Amino acid sequence: MTETVAPPHPFDDAVELTPTNGGLYTGRTSANYANMVGPFGGITAATLLRAVQQHPDRLGDPLSLTVNFAGPIAEGSFDISARPVRTNRSTQHWALELTQDGVVATTATAVFGTRRDTWSSDEISIPTVPESDSVAPESFPDFIAWARNYEMRFVEGGIPKTESAEHPNSTSTLWMRDEPPRPLDFPALTAMSDIFFPRVFLRRGQYLPAGTVTLTVYFHADAAALADQAGDAVLGTARAQRFGKGYFDQSAELWGRDGELLATTHQLVYFKD
């Protein structure tokens, strides 16, 4: 009797990399995670993180990741170089580049390391919200392919409709998880950190040309905490601090089971009006 092997989850297929030589990897864009221009930034960030995870010299788990989207990524294959620039006792610093046909499209730096038990304290708390199952899911327009890979249930600041008016603030809070459900790991958490649509859409009540210039994720959870999260929904909340002169910033927190802070993220976004 032949055992049926389940196909890989679309996310795992999208971040799959083939090692070639000395910290070099090849990958390919996924139509499932396409955005309006190029791939979803979160999947690019997750793929870069995966490159470090696959490197034989990697120390520990991710502590931070900064991705600079230098230019568009075309549909098709790409190359990633991952190089450890310094390894200390408990931290390791990485430099990464994603190129196509020899042209740099994305650069990144990452810090990996080992964690130890210390005193801890949270100065922010998880928002008080309804349980995820009591909130109706919302969908992005069909032409945003990557969004179909996520279940999103907005508690506030939902997806603007064509008839939306300007909003007094830029805060969105939502339950999110992979669709179909998938156990949470560091690459998936990285991608979710970019799931928040540009805050200018909400403030202006309309879709505008916008794109992330640079994205940083700080990982507060360790691998055990992510494994405990399994496939449960993650709560995320995001807001901007300043819009002007063609750019705005936005920051977000992602919370897991029992109100544990899993990650915080910050990005700078350009926009046109």
Q: Is residue 47 situated within a structural domain?
A: yes
Q: Is residue 151 situated within a structural domain?
A: yes
Q: Is residue 220 situated within a structural domain?
A: yes
For residues 237 and 219, is the Cβ–Cβ distance under 8 A? no
Percent of the chain past pLDDT 90, that is, above it, reads 89
d(CA 14, CA 214): 21
Counting every residue, how long is the chain?
A: 273
Tokens of 43: 């999947």
Q: Is residue 237 situated within a structural domain?
A: yes
**Where residue 33 sits, what CATH number does that domain have?**
2.40.160.210
Q: Is residue 129 situated within a structural domain?
A: no
d(CA 192, CA 115): 23
At residue 1, the 3 state secondary structure works out as coil
Number of domains in the chain: 1
For residues 153 and 131, is the Cβ–Cβ distance under 8 A? no
Q: Is residue 146 situated within a structural domain?
A: yes
Q: Which domain holds residue 73?
A: 10-113+135-271
Phi/psi of residue 212, nearest 5 degrees? -70, 135
Q: What is the pLDDT of residue 163?
A: 65
Give the rounded distance of the alpha carbon of 74 from its chain centre: 19
At residue 165, the 3 state secondary structure works out as coil
Q: What is the pLDDT of residue 234?
A: 98
Residue 1 pLDDT > 90 = no
Computed over every residue of the chain, the mean pLDDT equals 95
pLDDT 10s digits, 102-145: 999 999 999 999 999 999 999 999 999 999 999 999 998 888 99
pLDDT 10s digits, 172-195: 999 999 999 999 999 999 999 999
pLDDT 10s digits, 233-269: 999 999 999 999 999 999 999 999 889 999 999 999 9
Would the pTM of this model clear 0.85, i.e. be above it? yes
Q: Is residue 2 situated within a structural domain?
A: no
Q: Is residue 49 situated within a structural domain?
A: yes
Q: What is the pLDDT of residue 77?
A: 98
For residues 116 and 87, is the Cβ–Cβ distance under 8 A? no
For residues 214 and 65, is the Cβ–Cβ distance under 8 A? no
Question: Kindly report the CA angle at 268 between 263 and 272, in degrees rounded to 5?
Answer: 140
